[in-house]
Every structure is written in C-alpha cells, then in structure tokens.
Amino acid sequence: MSGDLIRLVEGLGQPRIGVLGDLMLDEYVWGEVERISPEAPIPVLKVSRRQFRVGGAGSVVVNLARLGARVSVLGRLGEDAAGRQIISIFHQEGCDVSGLIVEAGQRTTVKSRHLGCVQQAHRGVQQILRVDDEDLQAASLDQVERILRGVRAQAGRLDAFLVSDYRKGLVSAELIRGVIDAADGVPVFVDPALQEDYSCYRGVDLICPNRFEAELASGISCRTLESCPAAAEKLLRTLDLQAVAMTLDREGILLLEAGAAPVRYPTRARVVADVTGAGDMVLSVLGLVRAAGGNLQQAVELANLAAGLEVAHLGVTPIARSELLQELMFQGHPAGAKVKSAEDLQRIAEEARASGRTLVFTNGCFDLLHLGHHQLLNGARREGDLLIVAVNSDSSIRRLKGPGRPRIPQDDRVRMIAGLQAVDFVVVFDEDTPNRLLAMLRPDVLVKGSEYRTGVVVGREIVEGYGGRVAFVEQIPGISTSSLLEGFPAEG
C-alpha cells in the first residue's frame, strides 16, 4: 500500500483549488521564563522574537500551496495591519487573492500565542498564554454576494472547493448554497465548526468533523469507536452528503461513503507536540487528492499520514510533499520524521534558537557507515541539544570522489544516519560544500573530525563570522571509508 501512496503523491501534479473560510493571523511570541512576576503569580516572559503565520482557513491555503497546489483564496479581511500581513504571506506563497474582499469596518482576527522556555528546569517550550483579538460579525448580504461573485469567477478553472468554518461569522447556508451552485459538480469539502446545527452544510460532498463536533451535531455519543459510525451515518443522511470523514484523534479517521460500509483508518503512534492545525491538514490533503483525481480512500490514508506529521510540530506548520514521501518510504519508522528539507530545517533552527537550545552541525558522505562515523556523531551530539547531519548527495560524491562512488546509494545512507539515536535531523545537499546550509541554518557549533584540526575546515569562516564555534572529535586511528573500501572489490 505504501508503494501505491508513493505513486499517488508523485503524480499529484498542481491541481487548482479554491479555499473559502474564516481567515486569521496567528502570532507566536517566543521567549524565556526566568522568574515569576512580583506583581502577580504569573511567569515573566522575556521576548526573543515574534513570528506570524496564517491561521484558520489561511492554514489550509498555505498547506495546499506547500503541497504544490495552485490556490485561490476567497473570504474577507479587515483593512488593518493583520489583514495586510495575511495578504503578504499569501503573495509569498504564490496564491491568487483576487477573491478576497477587504473591509474598512472589519477587524481581522489575531490569535497571539506566548511560548516560553524555562531554562533552569530544563523544560521544552510551553504555551503560557493565548490572546484572541477579534470582533465577530456575521457577513452582510453585500459581503456574501461579493464573495460569491469571486466564487463564480473562479469556478470554471478550479478542481475543488474547500470551506473552512471557524464560526467567525462568514460561513452561512446562503454562502454554502452559492458555492455548491457555482461548483457545478466540482467537489465541495467542508471542515465544519463546533456547533449543534449543521444544516448550513446541506448538500456538500464531504464534511470532516472531529469526533466532538460530530457528537454535538448528531446528538449521538462518539466517545467510543463503536458509536462513531452511527453519528457519521446520521450526518450523511440528514445533510444529503456523499461522505463523512470523521477524525478520531489518536485512533485515526473514520470514512463513511454513501452506499458503503464505514472504514476506520488507524493512525501511527507518535509523540504529539501540538494538535493545532491537524484538522486543517486533513481538509487540505482530502481536497488535494480528490482535486488531483484520487479516490476518497487514498485521500483519507494520505490525510491521516499528514495529520500525524502535523501534530509532531509545535504550532500550525505546513507539510511539504517531500515529507510525505519520506514518511511513506520509511514506512512509519520514527527515523523518517528526521529527514528534512533545507527550508524546513531553517524554520526548526529558528525555533530552536528562540527556545535557547544549542544547534550542532556536521556533514559528510557517510559512504559505508563505520565506527569512525559513530564516534564523530556521538561526539557531535555532546556539543549541544540538537544535531543536524548534512549528507552529500550521490551526484555531489561523484564529483568529489570519482565515478566509482558512492558505494551506498543516497537514500540508504540517509536512512542509516537517521536511524541513529544521536542524530536529530538529516538533510541532503547537492553542492560540493555545506556552505549554503551553514548560512541558512546558522548552527552554534560546527563539528569536524580531529584530522581537520590542523587543516582547512570548510565553513569555518561562516560559522565564526556570526559568533559560532568549531569543535573537533577525536578520530579513531586507521578507520576511514577509503581504507575500508580497499578491502571490497570495485563495482563492475
């Protein structure tokens, strides 16, 4: 089955998807907690940086853009700083924002999350406080009509419509009816709000509530797996749907299609950092796969996988296709989550620095993994809190070592390195040197073997230029890839 999903992801193409819903700005305020306030029994957060991401329906937009879809955004924003920030992010992601309406009297929702690291207690990052700045207003008839004009203008060139309802006043029965009419057979999927009355979603193709939302809307308990199908069946029947995909937290996703028996797709066990954004990811991947021509069973399997990757991240974090492919290739092994793109690692590095953790970097070909490599990697890990290992690509090694190398293919070398306990993240680079990665990630420590102590250390000037340092790990005498390969016959 993993092979089928790999082929599915590789063949997704660039489907065109419209996303309609409540847009908001997520602000993350990062810092350290060193003391309790003398004014009240609350922690004092010493702010080190702020980060802005798009939330609500906006996280579906960014998810889809990172997954390779061409996205059109439909909705409303306030004519304010937060609204401008959201539009700027959409532009950076290459999204079409012509369907947005911007209102002077509207206030854009901002959710500000304050996260702190208690260094003295050696704890990880914890969310201390969330502040919501919003002014909920039901969409006016004029706003609904203007948005629907945008929907009708986009409809002829879209492969799917996704609606993300956060109950901020935009989504209504009139709006949903207008989207269904304009879609004219194109799939319309909805991530519904937490509310008792789901009649506004009547006639869409699919809804993907979580079990608590489904319980509230159906009146049927979803506390146990045995009771969930009855709730899904009631929603399917009373709302005239084609399918219900109910998310079940750690128990996966339940899919009920009209005329078929319910099927539960279990999730893989993982360490959960933050459940924020999991529902948005499910809607994104369901819509992506269906828009690309895949069936609902495939869509649910892939959405389940993507949601599992999402909850391993702190905050709403887009997942790239490359991460899905890596997860599928590793077949659920925890090491798969360690393999990252340079862009993903840049974000991880920024978050690590904000939480006061020390980043360590080392690199190499690792062609024929041996005891010397273990010595290097374990020694590097002792230099800090997170170890990033950059591995030369096959083409890079051929340029550096000649046509007979590497002896071990790139994917196998990456899997072996990722499987080591000392390693936190692995990235592949295709250049002859890791200098681009060093400039992007700005690690605190660059680690090399002791044989480089008296020679040239590639990247030293970059690391020391921003205040980092170079450390050396003692090499085991007589052990190297070249010496070991002398005992193996050459290929061919």
> What's the predicted TM-score (pTM) here?
0.71
Give residue 378's pLDDT band: very low, low, confident or very high (50, 70, 90).
Answer: very high
Whether 65 and 93 have beta carbons less than 8 Å apart is answered as yes
Nearest to 30 by CA among 127, 133, 131, 132: 127
At a CB cut-off of 8 Å and minimum separation 6, what does 464 contact? 470
Burial class (CB in 10 A: 0-12, 13-18, 19+), 421: exposed
Give residue 30's pLDDT band: very low, low, confident or very high (50, 70, 90).
Answer: confident
Instruction: State whether residue 342 is helix, strand or coil.
Output: helix
Strands of the sheet containing 469-473, edge to edge, are: 425-429, 386-392, 359-364, 445-449, 469-473
What value does the mean pLDDT of the chain take? Answer: 87
- The span from the CA of 263 to the CA of 60, in Å, is 25
Quick one: 240 and 362 in the same domain? no
Quick one: 307 and 369 in the same domain? no
Question: Does residue 336 lie in a domain region?
Answer: no
Average pLDDT of span 213-221: 96
Last residue of a domain, one of 270, 296, 331: 331
Domain that holds residue 468: 342-485
Q: Which of 165, 280, 344, 444 is catalytic?
A: 280
Q: Can 280 be counted among the known catalytic residues?
A: yes
Quick one: 352 and 258 in the same domain? no
Residue 466: predicted pLDDT = 93
Considering only 108-112, 417-421, 462-466, 469-473, which range has the smallest mean pLDDT?
Answer: 417-421
Quick one: 32 and 7 in the same domain? yes
Quick one: 200 and 250 in the same domain? yes
Is the predicted pLDDT of residue 455 greater than 90, yes or no? no
Percent above pLDDT 70 for the chain: 90
User: For residue range 391-416, what is the model confidence (pLDDT) as tens digits?
Assistant: 999 999 999 888 877 888 888 888 88
Is the predicted pLDDT of residue 45 greater than 50, yes or no? yes
